[in-house]
Amino acid sequence: MSSIGQTMDKATPTESFTLVFQPSGARGKVEAGTSIRRAATALGVEIESICADVATCGKCRVLIEDGQFGGIDSSPDHASSMRSTEELWITRRTNTWRTMGLDPDRLRLSCQAEVQGHMVVFVPESSRGNRQIIRKAATDRHIDIHPAVRRYYLELEPATLADPLGDVERVSLSLVAAMSRIHGDIDWVAPEVNDIRFDFHVIRAMGDAIREGDWKVSLTVWQGHRVIDIRSGYSEELYGIAVDIGSTAIAIYICDLATGEVIGTDSMMNPQTVFGDDIMSRMAYENLHEDGLATLHDSVTSGLNKLITRALRSKRINATDVHEITVVGNTTMQHLFLGISTKYLGTMPFVPTSHRAFDIKARDLGIAINPSANVHVLPSAGSFVGGDAMAVVIAEEPHKQEENLLIIDIGTNAELIAGNRDGLVCTSTPMGPAFEGAHIEYGMRAADGAIEKLEIDSESLEPRYKVIGIEGWGPDNLGVEDSMKEGGPVKGLCGSAIIDAVAEMFRVGIIGARGHFNPDLQSERVRKGELGWEYVIAWSGETSIGRDIPVTLDDIRQIQLAKAALYTAAHLLLRELGIEAPDKIILAGAFGTHIDKTKAMMLGMIPNCPLDRVFSVGNAAGDGARIALLNRHKRMEAQQIARTIRRIELPVDPDFQNEFIQALNLPHMSHQFQAIADLIPDHGPDPMARRIRDPH
Q: Which residues bind a copy of itself (CB under 8 A)?
A: 159-161, 163-169, 194, 198, 200, 203-204, 206-208, 211, 338-341, 343-344, 348-356, 358, 360, 364, 380, 382-383, 647, 649, 652
The closest of 330, 379, 447, 429 to 656, measured between CA atoms, is 429
CB of 168 to a copy of itself, least distance (A): 4
Residue 83 or 211 with smaller CB distance to a copy of itself: 211
Q: How far is the CB of 153 from a copy of itself (least distance, A)?
A: 20
- 163 or 422, CB closer to a copy of itself? 163
Q: Which is nearer to a copy of itself, 367 or 450 (CB)?
A: 367
Specify whether the CB–CB gap between 502 and 443 falls below 8 A: no
CB of 306 to a copy of itself, least distance (A): 23
Which H or E run contains 324? strand 322-329
Beta bridge partners, 232, equal 217
CB of 477 to a copy of itself, least distance (A): 54
Residue 613 CB: number of other CB atoms within 10 A?
Answer: 14
Minimum CB distance to a copy of itself, residue 339 (Å): 6
Residue 144, CA atoms < 13 Å, CB-side half-sphere: 10
DSSP 128: B
Q: Would you say 213 or 475 has its CB closer to a copy of itself?
A: 213
Least Å from the CB of residue 204 to a copy of itself = 5
Of 188 and 350, which CB lies nearer to a copy of itself in the complex structure?
Answer: 350
- 277/653 with CB nearer a copy of itself: 653
Residue pair 110/68 in contact by the 8 Å Cβ criterion? no
Contact criterion met (CB below 8 Å) for 389 and 417: yes
- Spell 358-376 as b/e; 16+ CB within 10 A means b: bebbbbebebbbbbbbbbb
Minimum distance of a copy of itself from residue 644's CB (angstroms)? 13
CB of 194 to a copy of itself, least distance (A): 7
* Three-state secondary structure call for residue 503: helix
Nearer to a copy of itself, 358 or 539 (CB): 358
CA distance 103 to 353: 57
Sign of CA dihedral 14, 15, 21, 24: positive
CB of 380 to a copy of itself, least distance (A): 8
Give least dist CB 394 to a copy of itself, A.
Answer: 18
**Least distance from C-beta 647 to a copy of itself, angstroms?**
8
Rounded Cα–Cα distance for residues 426 and 643 (Å): 12
148 burial level (CB within 10 Å; 0-12, 13-18, 19+): buried
Q: Strand 532-538 relative to strand 549-552: parallel, antiparallel, unpaired?
A: antiparallel
Nearer to a copy of itself, 43 or 203 (CB): 203
Nearer to a copy of itself, 357 or 587 (CB): 357
Closest CA to 244 of 284, 319, 300: 300
Q: What is the CA radius of gyration of the chain?
A: 31
Question: Which residues are within 8 A (CB) of 234 and not within 5 positions of it... i.e. 6 or more apart?
Answer: 51, 56, 57, 153, 216, 218
- Which 8-state DSSP code applies to residue 672? T
Amino acid identity at 630? L
Residue 349 or 578 having the CB closest to a copy of itself: 349
Distance CA 239, CA 221 (A): 13
Identity of the amino acid at 263: I
Residue 277 Cβ vs a copy of itself, minimum distance, rounded to whole Å: 24
Q: How far apart are CA 602 and CA 375, in angstroms?
A: 42
Please, which residue, 167 or 542, has the CB nearer to a copy of itself? 167
Which residue's CB is nearer to a copy of itself, number 389 or number 677? 389
The CA-to-CA distance between both ends of the chain, in Å, stands at 89
Cβ-Cβ contacts under 8 Å for 10 (sequence gap 6 or more): 116, 117
Which residues in 176-215 belong to E strands, given as ranges?
Answer: 197-198
